[in-house]
């Protein structure tokens, strides 16, 4: 209840680690898990994404320290993670060179309802039988 109240119910979002989908690939991210783009000799900033077949999901909340990047199939440490879920390389990859990454991520969510129903199980303790959440889609144009 304290957490719900601190966010003013559905008014403020928060980060959630989805126990079923929180990695770019396997439990331990690898630098070649997801293709971010292809070098053109100029571009140094690439958005983190996760692919589900033909669907592409923007990842805006990577877990700090978990991002691993590959350029041309070789892992590199010459990058930084920029707010909003972008990787910025120290130098632009050559034309046609694949940029890949692996990472853990959180999902921005908010409570779906104005109230949270809690059943009292014992003295000063309770249980919330259902807590509905909605993913917050962020406009990062």
Q: Is residue 140 part of a domain?
A: no
Q: Which domain holds residue 58?
A: 2-135
Record the tokens describing residue 91, joined without a space: 């130098």
Which pLDDT band holds residue 141 (cuts at 50, 70, 90)?
A: low
Task: Examine the pLDDT at 96 and tell me if it is beyond 70.
Answer: yes
Q: Examine the pLDDT at 112 and tell me if it is beyond 90.
A: no
**Looking at the 3D structure of the chain, how many domains does it have?**
1
What's the whole-model pTM score? 0.83
pLDDT at 15 over 70: yes
Question: Is 24 part of any domain?
Answer: yes
- Dump pLDDT digits (tens) for 52-64: 999 999 999 999 9
Residue 72 pLDDT class (50, 70, 90 cuts): very high
């Amino acid at each position: 209840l304290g957490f719900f109240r601190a966010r003013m119910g559905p008014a403020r979002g928060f980060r959630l680690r989805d126990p079923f989908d929180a990695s770019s690939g396997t439990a331990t991210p690898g630098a070649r898990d997801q293709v971010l783009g292809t070098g053109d000799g100029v571009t140094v900033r690439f958005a983190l994404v996760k692919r589900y077949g033909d669907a592409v999901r923007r990842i805006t909340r990577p877990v700090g320290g978990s991002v691993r990047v590959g350029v041309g199939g070789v892992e590199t440490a010459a990058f930084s993670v920029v707010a909003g879920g972008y990787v910025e390389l120290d130098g632009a990859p050559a034309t046609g060179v694949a940029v890949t990454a692996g990472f853990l991520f959180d999902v921005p969510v908010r409570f779906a309802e104005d109230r949270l129903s809690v059943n009292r199980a014992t003295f000063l303790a309770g249980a919330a039988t259902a807590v509905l959440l909605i993913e917050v889609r962020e406009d990062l144009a």
